[in-house]
C-alpha cells in the first residue's frame, strides 16, 4: 500500500500602500498555489497475537436434596451399536420367453427364475436389464413387482423373499409393439429397502 500526502500551501499577502489622495483599489496578486507531494512511505504491518482470556466455567451448584424423593442418577452415556455389514446374497438368474420368438403386436411372457445360492434369505430383488424396452410395453410384473427406468437404465424390482438354496419366479407380461432382433440382458442382486415399491 502506498501512502500519499498532499500539502497545499496558499498565501495571500497584501502590502500596505501609503495612502494618498485616492484610495487604491489594486492589491498585489497572490502568488500561485504550490502542491507538495510527500514521497511514498512503505507501511509495515506486524500481526501481534491477541491473548484470549480463558472463559470461566461455572461449577454446578448442588441443590438441596429432598428428604422424601430419591435423587435420580444420571444415565451413563453408551455408544450406539454399529450395525455390521450384511454380506451380499449370491443370486443367479435364468430367463425364458414364452413363446420363444415373440412377434410384433402380440403379448408374451418373460419368465425369470432367480436362485439364492447363499446362506441367508434374499429380501426382494433388483434386476437391471437392457434390450428393446422402448419398443415393448410392460403390462405387469408378478408377483408384487414393478418395471421402471432410472439413470442407469431399465430395471425390474420385486419384493419376493427367496430362502437360501431355493429359487422363485417372476413373470413379466409384455406386448411387443414393434419387431426386434435385440438381445435381452439381465443382472440380478438383492434389492435395497428403498428400491422396492
Cβ neighbourhood burial of 91 (10 Å; 0-12, 13-18, 19+): buried
| pLDDT of amino acid 177 | 87
User: What structural domains and CATH numbers belong to the chain?
Assistant: 91-195 (2.60.40.290)
Longest dimension (CA), the chain: 137
| pLDDT of amino acid 120 | 92
Nearest to 169 by CA among 116, 107, 102, 131: 116
Residue 1 predicted with pLDDT over 70: no
Where does the pLDDT of residue 56 fall: very low under 50, low under 70, confident under 90, or very high at 90 and above? low
* 158 vs 62, higher pLDDT: 158
Place of cell 438354496: 165
Over residues 62-67, mean pLDDT: 56
| pLDDT of amino acid 24 | 47
Strands (E), 81-180: 91-98, 107-116, 122-130, 136-142, 145-150, 153-162, 167-176
| pLDDT of amino acid 47 | 45
Where does the pLDDT of residue 18 fall: very low under 50, low under 70, confident under 90, or very high at 90 and above? very low
Highest mean pLDDT among 126-135, 148-157, 163-172: 163-172
* 197 vs 152, higher pLDDT: 152
Mean pLDDT taken over the chain: 73
Residue 92 predicted with pLDDT over 90: yes
Tell me how far CA of residue 160 lies from CA of 4, 92, 129, 133, 163, in angstroms: 82, 15, 18, 23, 10
pLDDT digits (tens, 9 = 90+) for 177-186: 888 788 889 9
| pLDDT of amino acid 103 | 85
Over residues 147-152, mean pLDDT: 87
| pLDDT of amino acid 2 | 28
Amino acid at each position: 500500500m502506498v501512502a500519499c500526502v498532499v500539502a497545499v500551501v496558499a498565501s495571500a499577502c497584501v502590502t500596505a500602500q501609503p495612502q494618498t489622495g485616492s484610495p487604491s483599489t489594486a492589491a498585489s496578486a497572490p502568488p500561485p498555489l504550490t502542491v507538495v507531494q510527500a514521497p511514498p512511505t512503505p507501511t509495515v504491518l506486524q500481526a501481534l497475537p491477541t491473548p484470549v482470556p480463558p472463559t470461566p466455567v461455572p461449577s454446578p451448584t448442588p441443590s438441596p436434596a429432598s428428604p422424601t424423593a430419591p435423587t435420580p442418577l444420571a444415565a451413563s452415556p453408551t455408544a450406539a451399536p454399529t450395525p455390521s455389514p450384511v454380506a451380499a446374497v449370491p443370486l443367479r438368474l435364468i430367463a425364458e420367453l414364452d413363446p420363444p420368438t415373440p412377434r410384433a403386436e402380440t403379448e408374451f411372457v418373460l419368465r425369470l427364475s432367480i436362485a439364492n445360492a447363499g446362506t441367508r434369505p434374499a429380501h426382494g430383488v433388483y434386476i437391471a436389464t437392457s434390450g428393446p424396452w422402448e419398443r415393448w410395453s410392460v403390462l405387469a410384473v408378478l408377483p408384487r413387482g414393478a418395471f421402471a427406468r432410472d439413470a442407469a437404465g431399465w430395471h425390474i424390482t420385486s419384493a419376493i423373499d427367496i430362502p437360501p438354496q431355493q429359487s422363485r419366479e417372476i413373470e413379466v407380461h409384455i406386448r411387443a409393439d414393434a419387431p426386434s432382433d435385440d438381445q435381452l440382458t439381465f443382472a440380478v442382486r438383492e434389492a435395497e429397502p428403498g428400491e422396492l415399491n
